Amino acid sequence: MTSGKPYIHVVYEGRSIKVQRIQDRSYELSGHFAKSIQPCPPFCIGPMLPAPGVEVYGEVEMFDFLETDLRDGTGILIDSRTSSWFKKGTIPGAVNIPFTELAKEPTSPEIAELLERFGARERGDIGFFTALMEKWGIVDTKYKTEDWDFTGAKNLVLFCNGPDCGQSPRAIRGLLAAGYPSDKLKYYRGGMRMWEFWGITTVVPDVGE
C-alpha cells in the first residue's frame, strides 16, 4: 500500500480483515466507480475543505487511522452514504450512518442520541459557580458548549462516494451545527471512488434483509 507497509489488519464484524491493494497488475476498475462522466448537478466536484477546521484525509492518513484510532476505540469510521450504497460494499471497519441522520436539526433527539454514541455528554444544569469559572477562563471549555461536553468525544472520519458526492460534507456540517469540535472531524474526500481506484480491500456488510 505504501513503502514498508504491504497491508494492515482491521477487525470488522468480529473477524480480522487483511486490507491491501490488489496485486494483479491486469486489474482494471469496473462498475459505477469507473465512470468519469456524471451529470452536474447533482454530481459536481466539491471543494477540498467541507468546512473550516476539518482535516482532509488521503489514503495514507486513512491507513494510520485504521491502525490507531479505530483499533483503539478512540475513533469511528462513518460511511455516510445511504444504506443502499453501503450494502454494495464499504471500507473495512466502517459503520453506516446516513447523512440524512447526521444532518437533522441540532436539537433533535436523533442528533442527541448520536452525539452520546460518539462519546459526548449532555451537560444539563452546570450550576452558578461552574458557569462563573468557565466565564472567567478558570475551567477549560475548549470542548464544551452550553449543552454538550465533547471532551471525551471520539475522532470521526466521514466519507461517501468521492469528491463529487456531497453526502459526507453535509453530514460534517450537520455535526458542526450540533457543536461537534471541528478538530475531531476528518473528511476522507476520495471516498469509495479513490479507495476502489487504488484496488484496496472492501467488504460487503452483513446487514440482513
Give domain status of residue 148, yes or no.
Answer: no
- Find the CATH number of the domain harbouring 55: 3.40.250.10
Q: What type of residue is 1?
A: M
The total domain count for the chain is 1
Cβ atoms of 146 and 124 within 8 Å: the answer is no
* Lookup: cell for 162: 468521492
Short-list 159, 161, 157, CA closest to 44: 161
- The C-alpha atoms of residue 144 and residue 121 are separated, in whole angstroms, by 10
Give domain status of residue 2, yes or no.
Answer: no
Give domain status of residue 208, yes or no.
Answer: no
Q: Per residue in 159-196, pLDDT tens? A: 999 999 999 999 999 999 999 999 999 999 999 999 99
Give domain status of residue 180, yes or no.
Answer: yes
Query: 109 is in which domain, residue-wise?
Result: 7-20+50-119+157-197
How many Å from the N-terminal Cα to the C-terminal Cα in the chain? 34
Q: Per residue in 26-53, pLDDT tens? A: 888 888 888 877 889 888 999 999 999 9
Adjacent-strand bridge partners of 166: none
* Lookup: cell for 117: 454514541
What lies within 8 Å, CB to CB, of 207 at 6+ separation is: 83, 86, 87, 96
Give domain status of residue 14, yes or no.
Answer: yes
Q: Per residue in 61-116, pLDDT tens? A: 999 999 999 999 999 999 999 999 999 999 999 999 999 999 999 999 999 999 99
206 has a pLDDT exceeding 70: yes
Give domain status of residue 11, yes or no.
Answer: yes
Q: Which residues of 53-80 are buried (b: 16+ CB within 10 A; e: fewer)?
A: ebeebebeebbebbeebbeeeebbbbbb
